[in-house]
Amino acid sequence: PILLRHRARPDRLVQILREVQEVADFISDETAAWLAERLRISYAQVKSTRDFYAFFYRENRGRYRILFSDNITDRMAGNQALFEHMLKRLRLEPGKVSDDGLVSVDYTSCTGMCDQGPAILVNNRTITRMTPRRVDEICDLVRGKVPLSQWPAEFFVVEDNIHRADMLLGTPHEPGKAVHAAIARGRDGMLGEMKLSNLRGRGGAGFTTAVKWDACRNANGDTRYIVCNADEGEPGTFKDRVLLQSYAGRVFEGMAIAAYVVGASQGFLYLRGEYLYLLPQLEAYLAGMRSAGLLGRSIGGVAGFDFDIEIHLGAGAYVCGEETALIESLEGKAGRPRVRPPFPVTSGYMGQPTVVNNVETLSKVTEIAIHGGAWYEAIGTKQSTGTKILSVSGDCERPGLYEYAFGVRIAQVLEDCGAQEAIAVQISGASGVCLSEREFGRRIAFEDVPTAGSFMIFGKQRDMFEVARNFSHFFAHESCGFCTPCRVGTSLLKNIMDKIADGRGTQYEMNELLRLQQVLKPGSHCGLGQTAGNAVADTVQKFRPAYERRLAETDFVPAFDLDAALARARELTGRDDAAAHLGEEA
Ligand code: SF4
């Protein structure tokens, strides 16, 4: 039935693998070979796709696969103690399956619940606000082999936590109003309003949306596509989660308007795997839009305006947030970024002209359709028009969403969320910029501090070295391995940070950290590698004492500890006298 539902389309491979794993718990080599035959693609392609994504398993990982979100904000909320507590209760080792094959417990990257962490995933279902008591309850349910569908509903509650609403979050959505307003303006008229609005992409890069749409519209191709990038994987970001949970109509209507302007007939919502819990309600919303004539054929009675939307789920790969990696994933492959040019607007999904826009960007299109570009352009600053939604987390009294007109000062956000004792803010996630107290007068805007939305706050009790170390582990884990500067550079960065944490770092390592940044930035193929050293470089510069107090008082300590590496040999030979150690007389 899974293959039938997906019409045995190879481009649906990621979805097929996900659904097969739901039933079989893992995807064995035999299953991969069987799928290759049925889909008429190579065994190597199925294996390479399976092995690329963190949420696909080639071996049994247990009927219950528990993953602890491990963003720095989860750590600040105590996830490590809860992790240890669960391992103890279940008598498990980290990442190992229990002897009876029932359960495994491990860490994963940020799951997008930083306002209500610590969070975990159980078979990709989100559970927030973990406590020791909740760990005990989950252990009892697992040991009792209670199906996930019968676990208490309150475990799975995900709150919106909207604390400041403006143009987007504060306006009720009237279904169909934006699409009909766009149709009334006509294709050229709507594009004209988009140009007037100067709306820029909210995914981080800040590219002008109308320019993208115009390029796609004018590109040669048989079919055009609209892709909504909801692979919200940047640590500390969760605004798209809320938009999809409570404002899905805006997102989908934004996609329909984009399709109307560029002449696209098919849309995809690429939803990060961690947001699986949203899938049923989003599918139901799309069904409602079809019934209301807002999707399907001749939308709004316009001949030729035919458009529909499919939802694709990701499977735990941060790099798929990069638009060409996302397109590869949509085509059923490993999500490795493509060489650009050509850009997706001329050669995207299946080689056809494709617009890829962020969830928040598309939501804002609905307001421009209704109120016009001039109205939108008057909000914010000259180069950064409109509003920006910030995902605020960390050391503050009220974590959650805050929507501001562009130009708001960092200090204002800190005051609004109750973060009087902040010493640093990490803006735009692990790949962004770390601001210290003396920079809190700066503004959120493309011309000053640009952001995709993440706003992580660190109070005076925090150790900024550990913050940067957490990010260095994140990038080493998420590097797709395609290009050498990133593959090797992110691992070196992580190893050096660990060496300093162990008290074995010296001034030599401090210089190496900055030197690595000079290799990663210009030499990496995509944004992941190019930004992987940002947090380390920023904290070395702004919080240097946090590094220096860990340094060993020598000029150089080798990265490889030969004596420690010989410990296993000493154990095997039963010899651990002084002469069996390096530097001692034999
Ligand atoms: Fe992959 Fe890193 Fe290279 Fe990007 S920079 S393609 S994530 S190895």
Q: How far is the CA of 427 from the centre of ligand 1 (A)?
A: 22
pLDDT above 50: residue 260 = yes
In this structure, the dihedral spanned by the alpha carbons of residues 324, 326, 332 and 337, taken in order and rounded to 10 degrees, is: 40
Whole-angstrom distance, CA of residue 445 vs CA of residue 451: 8
**CATH code of residue 398:** 3.10.20.600
Asked if residue 561 belongs to a domain, the reply is no
pLDDT above 80: residue 439 = yes
Q: Estimate to the nearest angstrom the gap between the alpha carbon of 267 and the chain centroid.
A: 20
Please check whether residues 172 and 320 belong to one and the same domain. yes
Which of 120, 136, 159 is a domain's end point? 159
The pLDDT value given to residue 6: 94
Please check whether residues 316 and 194 belong to one and the same domain. yes
521 Cβ inside 6 Å of ligand 1: no
The pLDDT value given to residue 248: 98
Please identify, by atom number, the ligand 1 atom nearest to the C-alpha of residue 319: 7
Please identify, by atom number, the ligand 1 atom nearest to the C-alpha of residue 484: 8
The pLDDT value given to residue 442: 98
Question: How much is the average pLDDT of 429-458?
Answer: 96
524 Cβ inside 6 Å of ligand 1: yes
Residue closest to 283 by CA, chosen among 256, 313, 258, 254: 313
* DSSP bridge pairs for 404: 388
Please check whether residues 188 and 305 belong to one and the same domain. yes
Q: What angle do CA 51, 350, 289 make, to 5 degrees?
A: 95
Alpha carbon of 523 to those of 196, 340, 469, 518: distances in Å?
37, 15, 22, 8
Q: What is the pLDDT of residues 38-87, one digit of tens each?
A: 999 999 999 999 999 999 999 999 999 999 999 999 999 999 999 999 99
Residue closest to 231 by CA, chosen among 312, 114, 159: 312
Asked if residue 564 belongs to a domain, the reply is no
In three-state secondary structure terms, 310 is strand
Please check whether residues 192 and 256 belong to one and the same domain. yes
Please check whether residues 312 and 173 belong to one and the same domain. yes
Can you give the residue range of the structural domain that contains 411?
389-443+451-462
Please check whether residues 243 and 298 belong to one and the same domain. yes
Asked if residue 531 belongs to a domain, the reply is yes
* DSSP bridge pairs for 458: 424
In three-state secondary structure terms, 307 is strand
Higher pLDDT, 244 or 552: 244
Whole-angstrom distance, CA of residue 558 vs CA of residue 506: 10
- Sort 267 into a burial class: Cβ within 10 Å, 0-12 / 13-18 / 19+: buried
**CATH code of residue 507:** 1.20.1440.230
Asked if residue 555 belongs to a domain, the reply is no
Whole-angstrom distance, CA of residue 126 vs CA of residue 112: 10
Question: How much is the average pLDDT of 552-568?
Answer: 75
Please check whether residues 98 and 227 belong to one and the same domain. no
Q: How far is the CA of 528 from the centre of ligand 1 (A)?
A: 6
The pLDDT value given to residue 574: 83
The pLDDT value given to residue 279: 97
Whole-angstrom distance, CA of residue 120 vs CA of residue 483: 31
Which of 141, 159, 177 is a domain's end point? 159
Annotate 334-394 with DSSP letters as a single string: --PPPPSSSPTTTS-GGGS-EEEEEHHHHHHHHHHHHH-HHHHHTSB-SSSBSEEEEEEEE
The pLDDT value given to residue 570: 86
Please check whether residues 99 and 242 belong to one and the same domain. no
Please identify, by atom number, the ligand 1 atom nearest to the C-alpha of residue 337: 6
Asked if residue 352 belongs to a domain, the reply is yes
- Write the single-letter amino acid at 429: G
User: What are the structure tokens assigned to 298, written together?
Assistant: 């001749």
The pLDDT value given to residue 417: 98
CB atoms within 10 A of CB 328: 22
Q: How far is the CA of 246 from the centre of ligand 1 (A)?
A: 33
Q: Estimate to the nearest angstrom the gap between the alpha carbon of 409 and the chain centroid.
A: 25
Whole-angstrom distance, CA of residue 102 vs CA of residue 92: 11
Whole-angstrom distance, CA of residue 152 vs CA of residue 279: 19
Which residues lie closer than 8 Å to 334 by C-beta, 6 or more apart? Answer: 48, 49, 51, 52, 53, 328, 480
DSSP H helices, 25-76, are 29-39, 43-52, 72-76
pLDDT above 70: residue 378 = yes
The pLDDT value given to residue 584: 47
Q: Is the ipTM of this complex over 0.85?
A: yes
Quickly state the pLDDT bin for 575 (edges 50, 70, 90).
confident
Please check whether residues 334 and 195 belong to one and the same domain. yes
Quickly state the pLDDT bin for 231 (edges 50, 70, 90).
very high
With beta carbons less than 8 A apart as the criterion, state whether 28 and 60 touch.
no
Whole-angstrom distance, CA of residue 441 vs CA of residue 443: 7
**CATH code of residue 317:** 3.40.50.11540
Please check whether residues 356 and 424 belong to one and the same domain. no
Q: What is the pLDDT of residues 114-171, one digit of tens each?
A: 999 999 999 999 999 999 999 999 999 999 999 999 999 999 999 999 999 999 999 9
Whole-angstrom distance, CA of residue 362 vs CA of residue 249: 11
With beta carbons less than 8 A apart as the criterion, state whether 360 and 206 touch.
no
Quickly state the pLDDT bin for 585 (edges 50, 70, 90).
very low
The pLDDT value given to residue 203: 86
The pLDDT value given to residue 566: 84
233 Cβ inside 6 Å of ligand 1: no
Please report, rounded to a whole number, the percentage of residues in the chain having pLDDT higher than 90: 92
Q: How far is the CA of 257 from the centre of ligand 1 (A)?
A: 33
CB atoms within 10 A of CB 449: 18
Please check whether residues 483 and 373 belong to one and the same domain. no
pLDDT above 70: residue 583 = no
Quickly state the pLDDT bin for 565 (edges 50, 70, 90).
confident
The residue count for the chain? 586
319 Cβ inside 6 Å of ligand 1: yes
Whole-angstrom distance, CA of residue 556 vs CA of residue 553: 9
Alpha carbon of 454 to those of 93, 249, 469, 471: distances in Å?
33, 23, 18, 14
The pLDDT value given to residue 586: 40
pLDDT above 80: residue 410 = yes
Which of 377, 403, 435 is a domain's end point? 377
Q: What total of structural domains would you count in the chain?
A: 5
The pLDDT value given to residue 567: 84
Please check whether residues 364 and 231 belong to one and the same domain. yes
Residue closest to 61 by CA, chosen among 110, 124, 105, 127: 105
With beta carbons less than 8 A apart as the criterion, state whether 6 and 16 touch.
yes
DSSP H helices, 418-552, are 464-478, 484-501, 507-523, 527-531, 534-542, 544-548
Whole-angstrom distance, CA of residue 393 vs CA of residue 411: 15
Asked if residue 553 belongs to a domain, the reply is no
Q: Estimate to the nearest angstrom the gap between the alpha carbon of 277 and the chain centroid.
A: 16
**CATH code of residue 83:** 3.40.30.10
The residue whose CA has the least distance to atom 1 of ligand 1 is 480
Asked if residue 496 belongs to a domain, the reply is yes
337 Cβ inside 6 Å of ligand 1: yes
Quickly state the pLDDT bin for 554 (edges 50, 70, 90).
low
> Using omega within 30 degrees of 0 as the cis cutoff, is the peptide bond preceding 558 cis?
no
Q: What is the pLDDT of residues 298-341, one digit of tens each?
A: 999 999 999 999 999 999 999 999 999 999 999 999 999 999 89
Asked if residue 363 belongs to a domain, the reply is yes
Whole-angstrom distance, CA of residue 50 vs CA of residue 32: 8
With beta carbons less than 8 A apart as the criterion, state whether 63 and 103 touch.
yes
With beta carbons less than 8 A apart as the criterion, state whether 486 and 525 touch.
yes
Which residues lie closer than 8 Å to 86 by C-beta, 6 or more apart? Answer: 66, 68, 92, 105, 135, 138, 139
- Mutate-to-test residue for ligand 1 from 234, 323, 483, highest number of ligand atoms within 8 A of CB: 483
